[in-house]
Chains A and B, each alone.
Chain A
């Protein structure tokens, strides 16, 4: 697992992928959080990092499938997947290794946003007048959201040999799992009976609950379950395609 992890990390950082992902994520977030007046913290009159946490899912929706699309699709396209499976590694070593490497790359992109925290902290009046606990909760939520997107993106990549298809499918899966249930729950048919249940199927309700700073065990169980389902599905698809 570790060897696959390092191999993947090495590929990311020896090519443009890692730098592109990190740069695009930070530029978009930076613009929305500090420059554009509609969402800027500077015009918000309240020391918080909400714009970052409400925006990040949209940016990650595009970025994460772009990272994960190569996981299996590229290996299959190039025919290197056979080499990988003849190595003395279990299938799960390969899948988890790739998962961790993809997730790590997202964390590298998230890490510099700590600077935003410091800025908002200093800009508060008086200095430090912001709810650090709530922000910690939001970060935990964002980690789980990223991990789920990575798992969904890898599932999409396992389904096809074409990277473009994997990307589009991955973004679609992430969109459906994150947002679609929320919209579905707001249909008049479900209001008052199944709306809370349907809403709970999607990532959004769990992410929002965590972003507020209340870390609930049921949200943790949801994310763990979602990731486990995606990874085992990924494994099943890969073995059946072998």
Chain B
């Protein structure tokens, strides 16, 4: 008996083909609706242009990795999100997250001293983790390398004395969107 492809399978391959094609096409021509209240995901044309114009590889190392309280986790997530968004426009933007407080006590001290020379000074953070009060050094910094040029960015907004930590964090997160294009220009 000669085996013939059944109409159902033919149908399946057709649909699969169309679906793959549609995905391919839509990755080039896509629009989106930004439902968030502050239009976080809508890049201004100026930002988009600034990111597109980058023709050198930008390497960004974010020192925000490890166990944090929720507020810093959100800062980390929004930083990653923001960088991913820009990377999608221009693949020359490369980034990684690194935990600077890792390894043995000696190693931690060594990296801390090395970073202090560059002006990367940790913020001391005290928080209650459910059973005890924990004190932790946290590095809310991004180190940016473009060719031989280097820039260090503090991800936290300048602290006003007496302002609430949550407020600082929330402000910092919304600040990210506006601060990065400026930063790229500065480099």
- By a beta-carbon cutoff of 8 Å, the part of chain A in contact with chain B is 37, 43-46, 91, 131-134, 136-137, 192, 196, 200, 212-218, 221-222, 224-226, 228-229, 232-233, 235-236, 238-240
Contact = CB atoms under 8 A, between A and B. Distances in A.
A213 B35 contact: yes
Contacts of A133: 34-37
Contacts of A131: 36-38
B6 A239 contact: yes
Contact of A216 (B15, B32, B40): B32
B15 A229 contact: yes
Chain B binding surface, main DSSP class: helix
Contacts of B26: 217-218, 221-222
A229 B31 contact: no
A192 B22 CA distance: 25
B32 A235 contact: no
B66 to A, nearest CB: 16
Nearest 9 A-B pairs (CB), nearest first? Answer: A225-B19, A133-B35, A216-B32, A214-B41, A236-B8, A213-B36, A221-B26, A239-B8, A218-B30
Interface residues of B, number: 36
B22 to A, nearest CB: 5
Chain A binding surface, main DSSP class: helix
B181 interface: no
Interface string B1-14: 00000101101100
B8 A235 contact: yes
A136 B37 CA distance: 11
Contacts of B134: none
Given A239-B8, A240-B9, A217 B30 contact: yes
B83 to A, nearest CB: 13
